[in-house]
Amino acid sequence: MTDSPETILVTGGSGFVGAHCILQGLQRGYHIHTTIRSLTRTDDVRQMLRNGGATETQISNVKFFAADLMKDKGWQEACAGCTYVLHVASPFPAGAPKHEDDLIVPAREGTLRVLRAAREAGVRRVVVTSSMAAVGYGDGDEIIKTKTFTEEDWTILDGSVPPYQKSKAIAERAAWAWIEEEGGGMELTVINPVAILGPALGADFCATLQFISRMLNGQLPVMPDLAFETVDVRDVADIHFRAMVSPKAAGQRYLALRDSGPISLQGIAQTLKRGLPAEETKRVGTMVIPKFVLRFGALFQRDMALIVPEIGKVRKCSNEKAKRDLGWQPRDGDEAILSAARSLQKYGVVKA
Over residues 179-203, the mean pLDDT reads 96
Return mean pLDDT, the chain.
91
| Of residues 291 and 131, more confidently modeled | 131
pLDDT band at 307 (very low <50, low <70, confident <90, very high): low
Is 246's pLDDT higher than 60? yes
Over residues 245-257, the mean pLDDT reads 98
Is 22's pLDDT higher than 70? yes
The predicted structure's pLDDT at residue 303: 57
Rounded CA separation 81/33 (Å): 9
Comparing CA positions, the residue from 9, 3, 198, 183 lying closest to residue 89 is 9
Is 213's pLDDT higher than 90? yes
Is 295's pLDDT higher than 80? no
The predicted structure's pLDDT at residue 17: 96
Rounded CA separation 297/98 (Å): 19
Over residues 279-289, the mean pLDDT reads 93
Q: Give CATH for domain 7-203+229-259+316-332.
A: 3.40.50.720
**Predicted confidence (pLDDT) per residue in 52-78, tens digit:** 999 999 999 999 999 999 999 999 999
Ranking 80-94, 106-120, 302-316, 332-346 by mean pLDDT, the lowest is 302-316
pLDDT band at 244 (very low <50, low <70, confident <90, very high): very high
The predicted structure's pLDDT at residue 297: 56
Ordered by start, the domain boundaries in the chain are: 7-203+229-259+316-332
The predicted structure's pLDDT at residue 2: 44
- What ranges in the chain are assigned the alpha helix state H? 16-27, 42-51, 56-59, 75-79, 101-120, 141-146, 163-182, 210-216, 233-245, 265-275, 291-298, 302-307, 320-326, 335-346
User: Using an 8 Å Cβ cutoff, are 231 and 11 in contact?
Assistant: no
316: Cβ contacts below 8 Å, ≥ 6 apart: 147, 148, 149, 229, 261, 262
Is 11's pLDDT higher than 80? yes
pLDDT band at 23 (very low <50, low <70, confident <90, very high): very high
DSSP string, 244-288: HH-GGGTT-EEEE--TT--EEHHHHHHHHHHHS-GGGSTT---EE
Is 159's pLDDT higher than 80? no
Comparing CA positions, the residue from 196, 155, 169 lying closest to residue 104 is 169
pLDDT band at 4 (very low <50, low <70, confident <90, very high): low
pLDDT band at 108 (very low <50, low <70, confident <90, very high): very high
Most confident of 282-296, 304-318, 336-350: 336-350
| Of residues 48 and 163, more confidently modeled | 48
The predicted structure's pLDDT at residue 1: 45
User: Using an 8 Å Cβ cutoff, are 178 and 115 in contact?
Assistant: yes
30 DSSP assignment: -
The predicted structure's pLDDT at residue 302: 54
The predicted structure's pLDDT at residue 306: 59
Ranking 88-102, 185-199, 299-313 by mean pLDDT, the lowest is 299-313
The predicted structure's pLDDT at residue 289: 85
Over residues 313-335, the mean pLDDT reads 95
Is 33's pLDDT higher than 50? yes
Over residues 116-132, the mean pLDDT reads 98
Residue 66 pairs in a beta bridge with 36
